[in-house]
Amino acid sequence: MTDWRARVLEAVDADAPAMEGLLAELVRVPSVSGSAAENDLQARLAATLRDQGLEVDHWPIPLAETLAAPGFPGAEVPRAEAWGLVGRLAGRSQGRSLMLNAHVDVVPPGDRDAWAGDPFGGEVRGGSLYGRGACDMKGGLVAALAAVRALCRARVPLGGDLLVACVQGEEDGGLGTFAMLGRGWRADACVIPEPTGLDLVPATAGALTFRLRVPGRAAHAARRTEGVSAVEKFWPLFQALRALERARNAEVDPLLGRWEVAYPIEVGMVRGGDWASSVPDLLVAEGRLGVALDEPVDRARAALEAAVADACRADPWLREHPAAVEWWGGQFASGRTPPDSPLLAAVGRAHTATSDRPQERWAAPYGSDLRLMTGLGGVPTVHYGPGDARLAHGPDESVPLAEVRAAARALAVLALDHCGVAG
């Protein structure tokens, strides 16, 4: 009998230098959400999947139609063009299908001076590869591609389909996975190799982007008491948001017990006034509201709206001129795959078979495409991938190459186990 597992793992290991090269190459493409490079990377990956011998579906996403579709999860950057990409290694019998889903977009590098090297350099130092997106999540993408390549090279006749979905627009809402599901792609199970340090993450909290418009009344700053400062009126609202955060985190699902704040509310952007010597007549604050596991999105929105309304009622000016709440941009619901799903046990087995590291199980405090896969797609989905999510979105983002290899090994073993081998 052929020992497929041994053959496949040998193929993954033999591929290690190519894996590192491919990761560096992908990190060097600055595929920031909404940039032209995001589309370029999809085209490049389509060629890679074709070279590996996969059937490739690479299609232009009909943007107007998709953005207007019911349940569209939001976007925060304009796009004139976007592409879907799914590679399929066809199963030979009626085995179960597995999707590996990875986003190709990255957030902007931020202050370049805060980086020790080029944010899009893909340099290797001390066994880790550095660059924006190395950890979130090009490391995971390369692990998925390497797993598929190893299965192809070992000529494994998989029973069920193995799909690789490369998606855009995850960072700003989930356009790519939404469009991919809209095109009809599904699988019996899905792994998103987001950075988990090879832990098993079967659930994610959500995050809803909001905007507050706080009115004031303009006056010459020399006569400031004749005006009303929107900056001053923002302060009680900010305190109300902090109090709401405390209340919403008084009791959290045990899967999120490791986080200091499981469902954060943060204001990430504030703009106010238009002249240094005027009383500001408008402050616009934008932030994110954490959504609890299993909490309906409407209920989370209502809680924030009520907290803002209460704070407005307590202030004489805001009572008459209440702040407005808008929901815009990324609307990430929470999502979870139940603990008794066979996928959780299968990923656990694949991990144990390929790694000595004990695996923990927890939920992520950030939103991801997981909720679209489980919710809209009805596909049991987990995160399992290389790297530490703490390094994502910050300077000197990096991923340990040994973890990328370990994830590739585990994903290949998972595919063998889940899809089966045709007799």
* Residues marked as catalytic: 105, 170
Q: State which residue, 33 or 229, has the beta carbon closest to Zn ion.
A: 33
CA proximity to 201, closest of 400, 33, 334: 334
Interstrand relation of 335-336 and 200-204 (parallel, antiparallel or unpaired): antiparallel
User: CB-hemisphere CA count at 13 Å for 401?
Assistant: 21
217 contacts 279 by C-beta, under 8 angstroms: yes
* Whole-number Å distance between alpha carbons of 353 and 333: 33
250, 255, 259, 265: CA torsion to nearest 10:
-60
Q: State which residue, 57 or 136, has the beta carbon closest to Zn ion.
A: 136
Dihedrals phi, psi of 114, to nearest 5 degrees: -75, -10
Under rule CB under 5 A, how many of the chain's residues touch Zn ion?
3
Least Å distance between CB 284 and Zn ion?
Answer: 27
133, two tokens: 């997106």
Q: State which residue, 136 or 397, has the beta carbon closest to Zn ion.
A: 136
3-state secondary structure of 35: coil
165 contacts 100 by C-beta, under 8 angstroms: yes
Q: Which stretch binds Zn ion (CB under 5 A): 16-24, 140-148, 191-199, 318-326?
A: 191-199
Torsion 96-333-254-388 (CA) sign: positive
Q: Which stretch binds Zn ion (CB under 5 A): 105-113, 150-158, 192-200, 308-316?
A: 192-200
What part of residues 58-87 is at the interface with Zn ion (CB under 5 A)?
A: none
Least Å distance between CB 75 and Zn ion?
Answer: 16
Q: State which residue, 399 or 401, has the beta carbon closest to Zn ion.
A: 399
Least Å distance between CB 177 and Zn ion?
Answer: 11
Question: For residue 407, how many other CB atoms are within 10 A of its CB?
Answer: 32
Q: State which residue, 103 or 248, has the beta carbon closest to Zn ion.
A: 103
What part of residues 312-351 is at the interface with Zn ion (CB under 5 A)?
A: none
Q: Which stretch binds Zn ion (CB under 5 A): 134-142, 173-181, 343-351, 403-411?
A: 134-142
Q: Does 279 bind Zn ion (CB under 5 A)?
A: no
Dihedrals phi, psi of 80, to nearest 5 degrees: -95, -15
Q: State which residue, 327 or 366, has the beta carbon closest to Zn ion.
A: 366
**DSSP H or E stretch at residue 192:** strand 189-192
278, two tokens: 């005027």
Q: State which residue, 137 or 241, has the beta carbon closest to Zn ion.
A: 137
Question: For residue 398, how many other CB atoms are within 10 A of its CB?
Answer: 21
Dihedrals phi, psi of 337, to nearest 5 degrees: -105, 130
**Residue from 11, 137, 252, 292 that binds Zn ion (CB under 5 A)?**
137
Least Å distance between CB 377 and Zn ion?
Answer: 18
Q: Which stretch binds Zn ion (CB under 5 A): 61-69, 187-195, 322-330, 411-419?
A: 187-195
3-state secondary structure of 338: coil
Task: State the residue number with the nearest CB to Zn ion.
Answer: 136
Q: Which stretch binds Zn ion (CB under 5 A): 55-63, 87-95, 137-145, 372-380?
A: 137-145
Q: Does 136 bind Zn ion (CB under 5 A)?
A: yes
Least Å distance between CB 332 and Zn ion?
Answer: 11
Least Å distance between CB 133 and Zn ion?
Answer: 9
410 contacts 354 by C-beta, under 8 angstroms: yes
Least Å distance between CB 174 and Zn ion?
Answer: 11
Q: Which residues bind Zn ion (CB under 5 A)?
A: 136-137, 194
